[in-house]
């Protein structure tokens, strides 16, 4: 089983919330082997606080409830733990030890909080036995389910979920629709499946109404770069070759095949980021609205809550003039692409560096 040595994009904005949203939100950022989860206000980028997180051997995982009030963090090295935190203060509400959390260099999709806020799916890996697993944490009861996620079709799928409790599990060449089994808390049963042509999955997103799933392929040398759509209730998927659909897709990936994707909360836009380029598409038609060339490769794709900006992050140098002297500081730069004009601006993130790889990059509602 192959894992991309690239960033984790933790989807902390819940799916299934159509309609207008306030621009106010919080940005969560953590780099591989970073000392803490940094939290910033949006759109001001004023620092809120930092949540200490220990991960000397892998990337942490993080998720936030859809009201922005509770924060879940998975970290630890030899001893794995799930912490439940007050998102507003960073104070710990509960801690749950468990074994064999997934350790990755620049881990990707370490955990998934279902869009109904009921279940937290945490990937594990028993390294001596070379066995992948998914632990299921019951959010309402505050405890781990007795059994892990058993009906998944592969060891470490990527997940998306809808507000009605539906869970989508995406594996190499296969997608499943799973439903929670009420008599057995934490159990999910398969309702439908469909084959796909994508063997290496880069990212997965669900439309806000929960009806259409998008699967993005890792980009390969000189081959197709595919986006797959699966509509609930259909037995087959629709496939699009992004090399033909988009302008400016490089023929050779160069620095790797990782790519990122997001859907705006109003369901109107689809955002893609790969290397030095970003694209904003009309979701229903996949018509290209903007192609944006960036100064250097960026990681992550996340729309602001109001859909007015597509956010990404890159390593760069910021300048500040003090006393007539220009000071240059290397660190993380937040790339903010205006979805109406396609123009972008960059803002330094104090204390954030991503040279070793991004672990968490996410937007969530500010807790009220």
Q: In whole angstroms, what is the distance from residue 152 CA to residue 134 CA?
A: 9
Half-sphere exposure of 81 (CA within 13 A, CB side): 14
pLDDT at 155: 94
pLDDT at 6: 33
Render pLDDT for 72-114 as a digit per residue (tens, 0 to 9): 999 887 789 999 999 999 999 999 999 988 876 555 688 999 9
- Identify whether the C-beta of residue 204 lies closer than 8 Å to the C-beta of residue 170: yes
Return contacts of 143-152, CB within 8 angstroms, 24+ apart.
143/96, 144/96, 144/98, 145/185, 145/186, 145/187, 146/186, 147/186, 147/187, 148/124, 149/121, 149/188, 150/187, 151/176, 151/178, 151/187, 151/188, 151/189, 151/190, 152/176, 152/178
Sign, Cα dihedral of 182, 186, 16, 274: negative
**Residue that is written with structure tokens 């991960």 in the block:** 55
Strands of the 47-52 sheet, one edge to the other: 47-52, 36-42, 25-31, 358-364
Close Cβ partners of 281 (under 8 Å, ≥ 6 residues apart): 269, 270, 271, 272, 287, 288, 289
Q: In whole angstroms, what is the distance from residue 353 CA to residue 249 CA?
A: 27
State both tokens at 293: 């060339």
DSSP codes, 217-274: EPP-TTS--EEEEEETT-SS-EEEEHHHHSSS--SS-SS-S--EEEE-TTS-EEEEEE
- Identify whether the C-beta of residue 361 lies closer than 8 Å to the C-beta of residue 299: yes
pLDDT at 327: 59
pLDDT at 162: 97
pLDDT at 214: 98
Hey, where are the domains in the chain?
25-364
Q: Which CATH superfamily, name and number, covers 25-364?
A: YVTN repeat-like/Quinoprotein amine dehydrogenase (2.130.10.10)
- If you compute the radius of gyration of the chain from its CA atoms, what whole number of angstroms results? 19
pLDDT at 326: 56
pLDDT at 36: 83
* pLDDT < 50: residue spans in the chain: 1-21, 252-256
State both tokens at 329: 């500081």
pLDDT at 109: 81
**Residue that is written with structure tokens 């990059």 in the block:** 361
Close Cβ partners of 230 (under 8 Å, ≥ 6 residues apart): 175, 194, 196, 212, 213, 215, 237, 238
């Amino acid at each position: 089983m192959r894992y991309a040595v690239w960033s984790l994009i933790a989807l902390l904005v819940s799916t299934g919330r159509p309609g207008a949203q306030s621009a106010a939100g919080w940005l969560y950022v953590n780099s591989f082997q970073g000392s803490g989860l940094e939290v910033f206000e949006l759109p001001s980028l004023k620092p809120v606080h930092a949540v200490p997180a220990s991960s000397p051997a892998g990337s942490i995982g993080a998720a936030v409830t859809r009201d922005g009030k509770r924060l879940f963090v998975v970290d630890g090295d030899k001893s794995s733990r799930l912490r439940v935190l007050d998102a507003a203060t960073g104070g710990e509400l509960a801690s749950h030890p468990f074994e064999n959390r997934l350790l990755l260099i620049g881990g990707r999709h370490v955990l998934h909080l279902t869009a109904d806020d009921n279940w937290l799916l945490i990937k594990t890996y028993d390294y001596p036995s070379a066995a992948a697993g998914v632990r299921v944490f019951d959010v309402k009861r505050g405890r781990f389910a007795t059994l892990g996620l058993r009906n998944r079709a592969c060891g470490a799928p990527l997940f998306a979920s809808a507000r009605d409790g539906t869970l989508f599990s995406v594996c190499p060449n296969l997608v499943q629709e799973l439903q929670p089994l009420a008599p057995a808390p934490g159990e999910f049963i398969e309702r439908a499946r469909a084959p796909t042509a994508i063997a290496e999955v880069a990212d997965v997103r669900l439309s806000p109404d929960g009806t259409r799933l998008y699967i993005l392929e890792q980009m390969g040398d000189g081959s197709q770069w595919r986006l797959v759509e699966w509509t609930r209730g259909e037995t087959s998927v629709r496939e699009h070759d992004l090399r033909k659909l988009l302008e400016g897709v490089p023929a050779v990936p160069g620095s790797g095949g990782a790519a990122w994707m997001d859907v705006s909360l109003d369901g109107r836009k689809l955002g893609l980021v790969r290397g030095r380029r970003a694209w904003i598409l009309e979701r229903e038609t996949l018509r290209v609205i903007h192609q944006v060339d960036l100064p250097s490769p960026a990681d992550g794709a996340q729309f602001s809550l109001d859909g007015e900006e597509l956010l990404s992050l890159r390593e760069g140098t910021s300048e500040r003039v003090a006393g007539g002297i220009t000071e240059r500081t290397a660190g993380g730069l937040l790339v903010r692409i205006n979805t109406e004009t396609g123009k972008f601006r960059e803002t330094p993130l104090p204390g954030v560096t991503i040279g070793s790889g991004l672990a968490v990059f996410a937007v969530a509602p500010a807790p009220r």
